[in-house]
Structure 1
């Protein structure tokens, strides 16, 4: 008797989304501007253009210690795209003059404003497409995502982590860089229309205005404490060795303009600190010293270890990092239960209001500002006082107008924790 074969289970094939067509350059790639004559011609062409100015900059963060710009991309209607090598010039002040106060269009402005200022470029007005996307609560706000969302085109980002300090820059990299400003003007106009329709254009204007005075992130106290896996360095003596090694590496990185991790990885700092070799030969024999990069500075590393081991007890770092402001929220219930209650209430208000206005909660109000107020609210708990406190800490007027009153009510916690 023949046993009938069981029929195969049909395989369901999910439909594959067709890939959006690639964004292409509208004009042939031009030569990199790296001579005074070429820069003068570029400035004339930009000044003769019309409308806002699309800008981008490429750094070499994964390779260099500095955050300087190694390429500046500029595009303006009627002018075309220009790729400028800032390393070839003392500054780009003549380019800033050619901009003549017109609006800049940047994507993720806080990433580029500081390196552009370093070469003499300062905006008088700007439009940040990434920040605008956040205010619209779009699910993805990377440049490639926005280009696809608004223009139906794909934008490859394969060279985003390239070493832009390379000279000469390869043509595929230059095409990539030029594409980053190719459609910024169109993108800005489409996003702007959505902001107007959503009633958020004035909010965006306040946010963009605040960016004009952006000075970079605040300088960290004891930045060495951010060494990866520092929790493995047990005790104050080991932490002292971590600190000495970190500072020695930082000095070398600064001097040679090389990103610190390429000189000595964080994992190696921790391993040396945990082992604390007692002599130079012991350090040389460690596995972390087998590579030529770390080994070439082995004397500096051993000097750092010796300094850490020789420090008197009174000068050893504490095991806990000193922080400004309130402690991490997870500790509030034990340290200050009343504050924990207030924080819960304020978070509910922020979440509810953000949903109502279709905003990410962190764009409605900075979580740090809310924590500061919940931990230690003003004695005079009125809307005016709370609003003034928010303004003093950098909140925008549109944010204060939305949340000031509700936040004041949430801060009015009972005398005892619930």
Structure 2
């Protein structure tokens, strides 16, 4: 077995050649995002049954040969808690690689905790206890210390055994297709598009604002997202969330008033003040809209129905030994009660397992139509 830090094109070519014929690879990344909007990829760790390679994406002039292997549709990518890793690749190529086997999701379908960490899963399956020495390491520093490199290797070293164990257990339980369905959703390119027009949804503080201020906040959030993307800066380095909400509420139209808002006055006002005032002026000319729906408390009948559905879900979950919230979180049950059949309970393995029954209990006509 070869374990090495890949820092030159010839070594990268050899590693990629070894990956070419593999049906699956264990995959992890190390990246930094403290000073940028887009993550800076620092290291990519890959492992096959015979090889571990840590590809130095900072030193190499290009990692395109590796990306070709990672994006190969015939190769299954085994990743733990894959969302952030897939987002890094989606930023580079516009879409995440597929197909994927997420070991955190696989573990949850096998009865482990929904959000089980990699270290806990490795210890449970292999008996090996991983050290927690470099969880907040600086991965941009070169040369990489030997113990930090060993830590990075471990992120894929034991992932191979975890994958084999979980794949066999899923097959024995008849849930391989369940995981395939979950991971297909995880590799939907739409999950990784930060549409500036939808940036207001991140600002939960806006729910309490009046419609005119919500409309203005939408425009300010779109401006901030575009600015952060264009300058590759963290959103908070452009304008903090609290300052953005305050600006939407106060709606200043003059530099002096804008400068009095905490978090905008000073450097942000000097750098972005004119643009912010233009966005505010534009927002004030728009028709006010209520973007966030006012929360509706379930009435007595709906609450009784919710409790009935929840009791049934818990019974099924206990029977098959997985988490009830994995099958049907509260928001999905409330969707069914409201007559909304667009949620996860109306399709796939959840519908076959219990969704059909729950829709019938709700009197939902969609229960009679297969999706």
Q: What TM-score results when the alignment is normalised by the length of structure 1?
A: 0.69
Cα distance in 2 for partners of 1:228, 1:100 equals 38
SS of the aligned residue for 1:355 comes to: helix
- 1:108 Cα deviation (Å)? 1.8
Q: 1:44 to 1:210 in 2, by over 3 A?
A: same
- 1:155 Cα deviation (Å)? 2.9
Q: 1:311 to 1:242 in 2, by over 3 A?
A: closer
Match of 2:217 among 242, 247, 252: 242
Match of 2:104 among 105, 108, 130: 130
SS of the aligned residue for 1:64 comes to: coil
- 1:160 Cα deviation (Å)? 4.6
- 1:401 Cα deviation (Å)? 2.4
**Structure 1 contact 71–85 (Cα < 8 Å) conserved:** yes
- 1:143 Cα deviation (Å)? 0.8
**Structure 1 contact 52–185 (Cα < 8 Å) conserved:** no
The equivalent of 2:205 in structure 1 is 229
Once structures 1 and 2 are overlaid, which stretch shifts more, 74-83 or 151-160?
A: 151-160
Q: 1:260 to 1:163 in 2, by over 3 A?
A: farther
- 1:75 Cα deviation (Å)? 1.0
Cα distance in 2 for partners of 1:88, 1:361 equals 48
Matched, 1:112 2:64: no
The equivalent of 1:410 in structure 2 is 361
Match of 1:53 among 14, 20, 25: 25
Matched, 1:251 2:202: no
**Structure 1 contact 56–112 (Cα < 8 Å) conserved:** yes
- 1:344 Cα deviation (Å)? 3.8
Q: 1:170 to 1:302 in 2, by over 3 A?
A: farther
The equivalent of 1:4 in structure 2 is none
Once structures 1 and 2 are overlaid, which stretch shifts more, 204-213 or 123-132?
A: 204-213
- 1:205 Cα deviation (Å)? 4.5
Matched, 1:362 2:333: no
Cα distance in 2 for partners of 1:240, 1:97 equals 42
SS of the aligned residue for 2:191 comes to: coil
Matched, 1:280 2:255: yes
Q: 1:145 to 1:361 in 2, by over 3 A?
A: same
Cα distance in 2 for partners of 1:299, 1:346 equals 54
Match of 2:347 among 378, 390, 395: 395
Cα distance in 1 for partners of 2:70, 2:46 equals 14
Matched, 1:321 2:291: yes
Q: 1:184 to 1:281 in 2, by over 3 A?
A: same
SS of the aligned residue for 1:332 comes to: coil
Q: What root-mean-square deviation, in Å, do the aligned CA atoms of Structure 1 and Structure 2 show?
A: 4.0
Q: Summarize the alignment of residues 256-267 of structure 1 with structure 2, pairs less than 5 Å apart.
A: 256-267=231-242
Cα distance in 2 for partners of 1:332, 1:207 equals 29
Match of 1:348 among 301, 308, 311: 311
- 1:42 Cα deviation (Å)? 1.9
The equivalent of 2:369 in structure 1 is none
- 1:258 Cα deviation (Å)? 1.6
Matched, 1:103 2:103: no
Larger Rg over CA atoms: 1
- 1:54 Cα deviation (Å)? 0.5
Q: What TM-score results when the alignment is normalised by the length of structure 2?
A: 0.77
**Structure 2 contact 23–74 (Cα < 8 Å) conserved:** no
**Structure 1 contact 332–339 (Cα < 8 Å) conserved:** yes
Matched, 1:189 2:140: no
Equivalences, count: 359
- 1:311 Cα deviation (Å)? 4.6
Relative to its length, the structure with more helix (as a share) is: 2
Q: 1:332 to 1:301 in 2, by over 3 A?
A: farther
- 1:284 Cα deviation (Å)? 4.0
1:306-356, CA deviations, whole angstroms, 9 ceiling, x for partnerless residues? 54256556x1543x3256xxx75x4332xxx66555444333322221222
Cα distance in 2 for partners of 1:217, 1:122 equals 8
**Structure 2 contact 26–47 (Cα < 8 Å) conserved:** yes
Q: 1:182 to 1:231 in 2, by over 3 A?
A: same
**Structure 2 contact 43–56 (Cα < 8 Å) conserved:** yes
SS of the aligned residue for 1:58 comes to: strand
Match of 1:75 among 16, 23, 47: 47
Cα distance in 2 for partners of 1:223, 1:122 equals 21
1:282-311, CA deviations, whole angstroms, 9 ceiling, x for partnerless residues? 544655357xxx605535235424542565
